[in-house]
Every structure is written in C-alpha cells, then in structure tokens.
Structure 1
C-alpha cells in the first residue's frame, strides 16, 4: 500500500523519516515555511542518507520563496543523494507567504514556475521571463557530476480550487487535496480532477488523487475532544483555509452546513483585515502546525473534525481509510500537524493502517 506522510521540517527530528520507512510509509514530504520551520532541503538531504527506499520531497515549496531554477536545482541535487526517490511537491504557499505578510502565489505564477522547473528537471532548455527580461535556461552539467536529472522527478501539486486543479492536470503526476472521510467531497474533487485531466489531453488516471488528512488514534475512553487537544490540534482549520474557495464554487453540491462552517473557521483564523485593529500576520501564524493553539479551540468543532480528519479507534481509522479509497482516492496521506507527537502518530499509522494493508 502506498502511503504518504508530510511533516514540518524540524532539523533535529530527521529520524522520523527512517521511522516512517520502517513502518511501511512509501513517501515523505517536508514542509517549507521560511519563518515557520527548518529548511526542508537540509532536512531531506539528511533523511536521504538515513533511508534506502522511501520517496522524498518538499511538501510543499512554491514559486516565490525560491525561483524555479533554484527549486529545480535543489530537487536535482537531492536526486543525486537519493536517485529515483525524489519528487517535487509544490503549491501556492498558503502558509509560507502569508506568514511573511504576503499573499500566496497566483495560479499564473505557479503555472509558469511548473513550466520552467519541469523542463529543467527533464534536461531541456526553456525560456523564462524574469525581472523584465526573457532568457534561456538549461542545466549546464549534462553528465550529472553536480546533480541528477537522469532519474525522473515526479511532480506533486497541492491544489485547493478549480484553477489549481486545471494546472495540476497539465503538469502533475499526483495532486494532493485536503480531504477527510466524507465521500461527497471526495467524489466531487475526483470528478473535477478527471474532467481537468481529460481537458488537458492526458490519459484517464494519469494524475493520481492523494487525500491529505489530519490524524489521531483514540485511546480507550478518549473522544473527539482528546483528538483535538492531544492530536491534530488546529490542523482542521488548515483544511478550511485551503478548501473554502473550492467549496463555495460548488456550494450547490455540498452540505450547506459544512460549507458555512468551513468558511467561518477560515475567516475567523485569518481575522478581519478591514477591522480597526486587524491581527498582525506574525501573531496569526505564530502557532501554525504546532499542535493546538488555545485561541483556536472554539473554532474546531466535531463537525469539522468528522469532515476533515482521519481519527478514531484503529478499526474506525482502517474503515474510514478504506472508504476514502473506495470513494475515489488513489493514495492516503497524513500531515503531522504536531511535531511533538510525530513519533507516536507514525507508530499509530503503522499499526492502524499499514500493518493491515
């Protein structure tokens, strides 16, 4: 069974990648946030030396904190350390840029970055317009002394809206979407992705759908509140942030209550920018993916947990994961929203899901 785990890059916690490999995880991605986490490429380079089979990549990088040529080089360099085990995960940088006070990259910027970086990683010459000038780019070491682009580097794209799905359908091998166990949402995303793939002229099934969920295995006597307090914390709000645009665009096909709850949680997290005293972006993101921020506890309801999270007893987790695959997901994924419980969560994923596969 293919299974993906993503985590914030925490440089003194590289050992969790080997732990994930040992329990059967096939892909591991390290998050990028210059003001939030450790540098993902240093983390992944160390992980490459510690592992032998698990696939490694960014989860996710973006077009703006690093220009496409640098992003292509970083992945090709990692590919020299772990030949054939590297993927490039990329998106618009919801957290990486917002935490610096900037808006995420536009879909057009993401589209062009993918055009340039994928061509470079395929060993091609490509034209790029940067700083007002058009120039040709190409890796200048065709013999692979400095980096490796001979082994293909698959593209994973994080998508959260209709236009993002269209870009993913053109470039990506995998598109990752924040999804919980609700079959209605899964089937809707699956339908839109398959349509975009067909419109892009690619073969059916050529772009795999990966469901990114928040995870917690309940112990005896624990409830959903314990899953929030001791597990995924504020993670469900991230699903609200990434999905709100897509859900509003398809509101007529979804439960209006969950659309409203998702919208309210996303807006409450970001705060009102037009308020007399709007929240400072550094304060807004200070506790992002560090477990539960007590200020967000009232925003995280059982309704949101049930919709966006993979949690419960081992039997319930297994049943939910199988239901997600049956609804149209190609690969399961968990993002570890709390680095301080990562080892526990990886062990639980191994026992509740992978050992049963």
Structure 2
C-alpha cells in the first residue's frame, strides 16, 4: 500500500510537499477549494519546482468550478514541470462547491467533463457547449499530445461507482469507505488523525488541533448529505450553532475553516464532547492501533492511503505518521 499525503491547500503547501518528499511519501494531493485556499494549480506548480520524485495531484477537481480547457491546461502545465509525476482526481463537489452555496455536479455532467478533459489531453478535438475545441498549445507551452495522466474519481453509491468504472483509472474515497475498493486496481483512501503519545487524552489541545478538523468532517458531511449530526457526540450543540444562522447563510457556517481548524459550530460540538468520536471518525490512536487500522484498509483493497495532517506542526504530523505507516 502506497503512503501518500493530502493537504488543505495553503501558501505553505509547496514547503510541506517538499518535506513530505524527504520523508518518503509517495504522492501529495492538494484540495481544490477556492473559497478558502490559494489556487491549487499555482501551489502544485511551486511544489514541482521544489521537488524531484514525489507525485503531485489536485484532489479533487470539481467540474462546475472551471471550464474543462482550464483544467486540461493546468494539468498539462504541471506535467511539463513534473514529468511522469502527475495524477488527477475529480469529484462532484463537497467543500469546493457547497462552501459557495452551490449544488454538486450531477454524475452525467461529471462523466462528460472528465471525458472531455482526458480527450483534450490526448490531443483530440472535442465538443463542449456545442463548439469544437482542442489544445492548441505550441511546444514551448505544454508537452506534445497525447499527455498521459491517470485519473481517479471520488464516488459513493451505485451511480457514482458505475461512472468511475467507465471513465477513471481508479477510485478515491474518504471517511473509511472501503466496501468497493477491491473492484479497482487503484483505490486511494483519504484519512485524518494523529499519533497519540502514551496516555495522551483525546480532548487535549494538541489532539484538538491535529485531529479535530478531521473529526469535524463527520459533522459537516452528515449535515450536507442528509444524515443526522445529532447522533454524534456533541451533535445537537453543533446543529444548534449552525441553525442559529439564516438558512441562506448556513453553508458559510458549516464550511468555515473546513479541514483546517474548528469553526464556531465545531467548537460548540467539541465542548459538548465531540472529541469522544475521534477514534471512530479519524485514524487517531497509539502506533499499534494505527498500524492495525492501516492493515485492515490494505486487506479491504486500499492500494494508496492518503493522510491529511492538520494543526500547527504539519512536518511533525507527517513524520510521526509515516514512521508507522511504512511498517504496514
């Protein structure tokens, strides 16, 4: 199982990716979340200049955020800067669109979009919005087509999985979803969490910073995907804090500081005991417990684990995690 990393894109991401390369991580993925992050392609390009081996990838690109030519050109640019190191991942949109108050893309739209981007990278003339187009970049502006870049799709449910089988090279999943990993030769799983020191309490300030944002993801996802956050510890406090806002602004309350820190609702939940869920919502625990969980993911068919560190000590989190993961 390859050990990769994932970052909520920041101006420090190129530096963090360079550190990840030194530590031996296989690939670095960056979120495409324009409501809270610098441009994903710009940060990946800077990372390409600072690294030599580590794979580089946006994860995940959301079709409704950019014209397909924009992402095809971005991918081609990165492929020129980091030959043989680029991958792509696409999804219908969670934080990337819902933080804007916009709905996710439909699976039919995502399918057409991914086919179009991949066709452009092959050098095909493709049709979009009723007009033919192709990459016309001269040799100094992009690699010669075809540009071979593998692509994953983030999917849940039968419709999304069917589309993934049709158009992608593998599956990107999160939140412990491994049920369909064995259907793919490349199955990446995004995880969060932190390595506990001996007798370290789950509600410590360090664990709050390092695993709290990953834990809060369970509350954000439950709310956005029609679940019930009140079934989680502190969930009623979380929901009360969100619903105190006007309905038209609740997406701002939910997605504020998504996967970077705790927002006001997340803090209310934390004070109400949400930290009790950390060992089930994230991969947090002693080294032995984390090794056991990673081994279980490998048996489930996961071929690439994608660890996202958070908190003030990203280099330290990366170092502690890979020291454990490389033994699995």
Q: Same fold (TM over 0.5)?
A: yes
1:147 maps to what in 2?
142
Aligned counterparts of 2:255 and 2:220: Cα–Cα separation in 1? 13
Aligned counterparts of 2:23 and 2:216: Cα–Cα separation in 1? 28
Match of 1:288, SS state, is coil
Aligned counterparts of 2:245 and 2:240: Cα–Cα separation in 1? 17
Q: 1:243 Cα deviation (Å)?
A: 7.6
* 2:217 alignment partner, one of 238, 245, 250: 238
> In the alignment, is the contact (CA less than 8 A) between 1:224 and 1:305 conserved in 2?
yes
1:325 maps to what in 2?
298
Aligned counterparts of 2:322 and 2:269: Cα–Cα separation in 1? 29
Q: 1:153 Cα deviation (Å)?
A: 0.7
> In the alignment, is the contact (CA less than 8 A) between 1:88 and 1:155 conserved in 2?
yes
2:201 maps to what in 1?
223
Aligned counterparts of 1:332 and 1:37: Cα–Cα separation in 2? 23
Distance 1:299 1:222, change over 3 A: closer
CA shift digits 1:13-35 (9 cap, x unpaired): 42110111111111101111112
Aligned counterparts of 1:110 and 1:225: Cα–Cα separation in 2? 40
Aligned counterparts of 2:32 and 2:245: Cα–Cα separation in 1? 32
Superposition pairs of residues 22-37 of structure 1, within 5 angstroms: 22-37=22-37
1:8 maps to what in 2?
8
Aligned counterparts of 1:339 and 1:292: Cα–Cα separation in 2? 10
Superposition pairs of residues 257-296 of structure 1, within 5 angstroms: 261=232, 268=239, 271=242, 277-278=246-247, 279-293=249-263, 294-296=267-269
> In the alignment, is the contact (CA less than 8 A) between 2:212 and 2:278 conserved in 1?
no
Distance 1:300 1:18, change over 3 A: same
Q: 1:166 Cα deviation (Å)?
A: 1.8
Aligned counterparts of 1:353 and 1:30: Cα–Cα separation in 2? 20
CA shift digits 1:163-203 (9 cap, x unpaired): 222221112223111143xxxx53x3336xx2xxxxxxxxx
> In the alignment, is the contact (CA less than 8 A) between 1:269 and 1:284 conserved in 2?
no
Distance 1:268 1:244, change over 3 A: closer
How many residues are paired up?
A: 319
1:351 maps to what in 2?
323
CA shift digits 1:105-157 (9 cap, x unpaired): 222221111111011112222122x2xxx11121123x643112444111022
Q: 1:46 Cα deviation (Å)?
A: 0.6
Match of 1:234, SS state, is helix
Match of 2:30, SS state, is strand
Distance 1:51 1:75, change over 3 A: same
**Runs of at least 5 residues in structure 1 that lack an aligned partner in the other structure:** 195-204, 249-256
1:73 maps to what in 2?
73
Distance 1:323 1:241, change over 3 A: same
Aligned counterparts of 1:270 and 1:114: Cα–Cα separation in 2? 37
> In the alignment, is the contact (CA less than 8 A) between 2:190 and 2:306 conserved in 1?
yes
Task: Compute the RMSD of aligned alpha carbons.
Answer: 2.9
Q: 1:292 Cα deviation (Å)?
A: 2.9
1:254 maps to what in 2?
none
Stretches of 4+ moved more than 4 A in 1?
A: 239-248, 257-262, 269-272
Please tell me whether residue 189 in structure 1 is matched to residue 180 in structure 2.
Answer: yes
Aligned counterparts of 2:73 and 2:159: Cα–Cα separation in 1? 27
> In the alignment, is the contact (CA less than 8 A) between 1:215 and 1:231 conserved in 2?
yes
Aligned counterparts of 1:62 and 1:30: Cα–Cα separation in 2? 13
Match of 1:340, SS state, is coil
Q: 1:160 Cα deviation (Å)?
A: 3.2
Match of 2:194, SS state, is strand
> In the alignment, is the contact (CA less than 8 A) between 2:8 and 2:30 conserved in 1?
yes
Structure 1 length as normaliser, TM-score? 0.79
Match of 2:191, SS state, is strand
Distance 1:247 1:223, change over 3 A: farther
